[in-house]
């Protein structure tokens, strides 16, 4: 990663975030972190900190011109930022499947910007599958230079440049696998609902003991379903009103 790419990455991470972790670095001691806010954002801010960018120094509220909060529908968040030279940047991060259609270019190894091609898409797909299989949650971090501050998501979701993909590990809480096993022994069927993609969900379910380690998907198997598949399978979700 070139110095300029690292700077763009860290500026985006520091400013396109609502988390406020505390980093305590005492002489001769390992870095101590108190996570305050979204764990994914805390992990990104820790990465920036280890790269020499403390968000408390680089997150300048006066330079943040507009925030597009995370949307569960769009699976992304964006922030318009003005640098010290008056140049506007739009930083956007989110789920790969929702981000990629809005991207046209990527930052290459030399720090230049190249047009997205099939080779890039193949490499990204391979890396995404590899990360997800290792129970890593994946995010795509992007940016673009803009002449004016975006007013709507329609202004955000086009001509984005891919900075990088990150994989973040969210370990199972201690005792989860044991609790699942106790439920099974008691005749309780354990099911998992998650916002992760299917590959990550399968890997986590295996780690928790919900799925057997040797489980593999097969045609017609409904053991693992995405939300859309499930809703179609059950005929939609019906919410009944209650009489007072």
Give me the pLDDT at residue 186, please: 94
Does residue 243 fall inside a structural domain?
A: no
Domain that holds residue 224: 176-234
Does residue 241 fall inside a structural domain?
A: no
Q: Which of 122, 144, 169 is the last residue in one of the domains? A: 169
Domain total for the chain? 2
- Clarify whether residues 26 and 80 are in a common domain: yes
Per-residue pLDDT in tens (0 to 9) along the chain, 244 residues: 899 999 999 999 999 999 999 998 888 888 888 889 988 999 999 999 999 999 999 898 899 999 999 988 899 999 999 999 999 999 999 999 999 999 999 999 999 999 999 999 999 999 999 998 888 889 999 999 999 999 999 999 999 999 999 999 878 888 999 999 999 999 999 999 887 878 888 889 999 999 998 998 888 788 898 888 888 877 766 666 555 4
The DSSP 8-state label assigned to residue 188 in this structure reads P
Instruction: Say which CATH number the domain at 54 has.
Output: 3.40.1110.10
Give me the pLDDT at residue 93, please: 97
CA distance 215 to 226: 17
Does residue 240 fall inside a structural domain?
A: no
- Clarify whether residues 212 and 138 are in a common domain: no
Give me the pLDDT at residue 238, please: 63
CA distance 74 to 93: 11
Give me the pLDDT at residue 132, please: 86
- Clarify whether residues 43 and 150 are in a common domain: yes
Sign of CA dihedral 23, 26, 27, 29: negative
CB 4 within 8 A of CB 111: yes
- Clarify whether residues 8 and 41 are in a common domain: yes
Sign of CA dihedral 18, 6, 138, 117: positive
**Full-model pTM:** 0.79
Give the end-to-end CA distance of the chain in Å, rounded to a whole number.
Answer: 61
- Clarify whether residues 202 and 155 are in a common domain: no
Closest CA to 57 of 49, 69, 46, 68: 49
Give me the pLDDT at residue 164, please: 96
Determine the Cα angle at 88 with ends 61 and 44, to 5°.
Answer: 55
- Clarify whether residues 72 and 150 are in a common domain: yes
The DSSP 8-state label assigned to residue 29 in this structure reads S
- Clarify whether residues 149 and 227 are in a common domain: no
- Clarify whether residues 90 and 126 are in a common domain: yes
Q: Which of 123, 145, 169 is the last residue in one of the domains? A: 169
CA distance 29 to 27: 5
Instruction: Say which CATH number the domain at 217 has.
Output: 3.40.50.1000
Closest CA to 77 of 64, 92, 89: 92
Give me the pLDDT at residue 239, please: 60
CA distance 152 to 129: 32
Sign of CA dihedral 9, 15, 18, 22: positive
Sign of CA dihedral 134, 54, 173, 231: negative
Query: How do beta strands 103-107 and 160-169 pair?
Result: parallel
């Amino acid at each position: 990663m070139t110095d300029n790419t690292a700077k763009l990455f860290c500026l985006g991470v520091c400013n396109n975030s609502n988390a406020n972790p505390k980093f305590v670095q005492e002489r001769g001691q390992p870095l101590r972190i108190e996570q305050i806010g979204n764990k994914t954002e805390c992990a990104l801010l820790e990465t920036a900190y280890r790269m020499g960018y403390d968000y408390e120094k680089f997150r300048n509220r006066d330079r943040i011109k507009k925030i597009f909060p995370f949307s569960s529908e769009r699976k992304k968040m964006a922030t318009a930022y003005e640098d010290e030279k008056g140049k506007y940047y739009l930083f956007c991060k989110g789920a790969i499947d929702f981000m990629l259609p809005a991207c046209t270019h990527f930052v290459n190894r030399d720090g230049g910007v190249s047009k997205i091609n099939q080779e890039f898409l193949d490499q990204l797909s391979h890396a995404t599958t590899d990360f997800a299989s290792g129970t890593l949650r994946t995010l795509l971090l992007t940016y673009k230079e803009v002449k004016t501050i975006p007013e709507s998501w329609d202004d955000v979701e086009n001509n984005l440049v891919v900075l990088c993909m990150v994989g973040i590990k969210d370990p199972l809480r201690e005792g989860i696998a044991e609790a699942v096993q106790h439920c099974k022994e008691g005749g309780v069927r354990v099911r998992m609902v998650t916002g992760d993609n299917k590959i990550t969900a399968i890997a986590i379910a295996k780690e928790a003991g919900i799925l057997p380690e040797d489980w593999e998907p097969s045609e017609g198997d409904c053991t693992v379903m995405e939300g859309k598949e499930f809703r179609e399978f059950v005929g939609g979700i019906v919410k009944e009103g209650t009489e007072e």
